[in-house]
């Protein structure tokens, strides 16, 4: 039994949720999000709350809490939005915006150009890249792709990291 799935998801004011043929659509002040969901879990929208009930299959019980979490994240995304902050550390490392692309100069012989997906807004201030958006999945995947360009290394700490991420540092070689 899922603890998340048992609890009804409350719908705040200004948000409308519709379920049609396996697609759940959430509309709010920050945008519209839609997600395909299997018919194993029954989604009922009534009285300013969304309740989920699983079917008899094993897959339905596995997806019950997952779908509840997805709906909660969609509601939070269209009301508040999500933010990921990346910090670039290293001499000469920088980021800049060129149209709908994020251009990273992180020690390679060439700049790395990443296309910013639709629904994600990027702000660059010196060595801090702030990503905001309504869709948690798209935002998190793009932030992971940016970090993957130059992961923080353990000796000098150079690279791209999330704000608040702790990197375990290594000592390095000692002079004899």
What pLDDT, on the 0 to 100 scale, is given for residue 163? 95
Are 12 and 73 within one domain? yes
Which residue, of 79, 99, 115, is where some domain finishes? 79
Instruction: Check residue 1 and give its pLDDT.
Output: 63
Task: Say which CATH number the domain at 37 has.
Answer: 3.90.930.12
CB 102 within 8 A of CB 116: yes
Cα-Cα-Cα-Cα dihedral sign, residues 113, 114, 115, 118: negative
Same domain (yes/no): 37, 71: yes
If asked whether residues 53 and 89 sit together in one domain, one would say no
The band of 39, judged by pLDDT with boundaries at 50, 70 and 90, is confident
From 79, 103, 131, give the residue that closes a domain: 79
Question: Higher model confidence: residue 114 or residue 61?
Answer: 114
CA distance 154 to 142: 23
Distance of alpha carbon 5 from alpha carbon 130, whole angstroms: 32
pLDDT tens, position by position, 117-160: 999 999 999 899 999 999 999 999 999 999 999 999 999 989 99
Could you give the C-alpha distances from 167 to 23, 34, 128, 152, in angstroms and in order? 40, 36, 17, 7
Residue 175: inside a domain: no
Do 129 and 60 lie in one domain? The reply is no
pLDDT at residue 88 is higher than 80: yes
Owning domain of residue 93 = 82-162
Give me the number of domains the chain comprises: 2
173 occurs within a structural domain: no
At which of 52, 79, 106 does a domain end?
A: 79
The 3 state secondary structure assigned to 55-78 is CCCHHHHHHHHHHHHHHHHHHHHH
Query: Which secondary-structure segment (H or E) carries 14?
Result: none
Report the pLDDT value the prediction gives residue 21, as an integer from 0 to 100.
Answer: 85
Enter the pTM of the model.
0.89
Where residue 11 falls among pLDDT bands split at 50, 70, 90? very high
Is pLDDT above 80 for 175? no
Higher pLDDT, 1 or 79: 79
Rounded to the nearest integer, the mean pLDDT of the chain is: 92
Residue 173: pLDDT band (50, 70, 90) is confident
């Amino acid at each position: 039994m899922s603890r998340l799935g048992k609890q009804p998801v409350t719908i705040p004011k200004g948000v409308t949720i519709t379920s049609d043929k396996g697609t759940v659509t959430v509309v709010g002040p920050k945008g519209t999000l839609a997600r395909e969901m299997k018919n194993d879990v029954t989604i009922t929208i009534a009285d300013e709350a969304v309740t989920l009930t699983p079917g008899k299959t094993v897959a339905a019980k596995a997806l019950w809490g997952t779908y509840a979490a997805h709906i909660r994240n969609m509601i939070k995304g269209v009301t508040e939005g999500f933010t990921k902050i990346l910090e670039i550390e290293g001499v000469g490392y920088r980021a800049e915006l060129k149209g709908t692309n994020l251009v990273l100069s992180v020690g390679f012989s060439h700049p790395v150009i990443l296309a910013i997906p639709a629904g994600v807004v990027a702000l660059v201030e010196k060595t801090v890249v702030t990503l905001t958006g309504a869709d948690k999945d798209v935002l998190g995947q793009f932030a992971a792709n940016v970090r993957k360009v130059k992961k923080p290394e353990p000796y000098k700490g150079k690279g791209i990291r999330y704000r608040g991420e702790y990197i375990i540092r290594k000592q390095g070689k000692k002079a004899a």
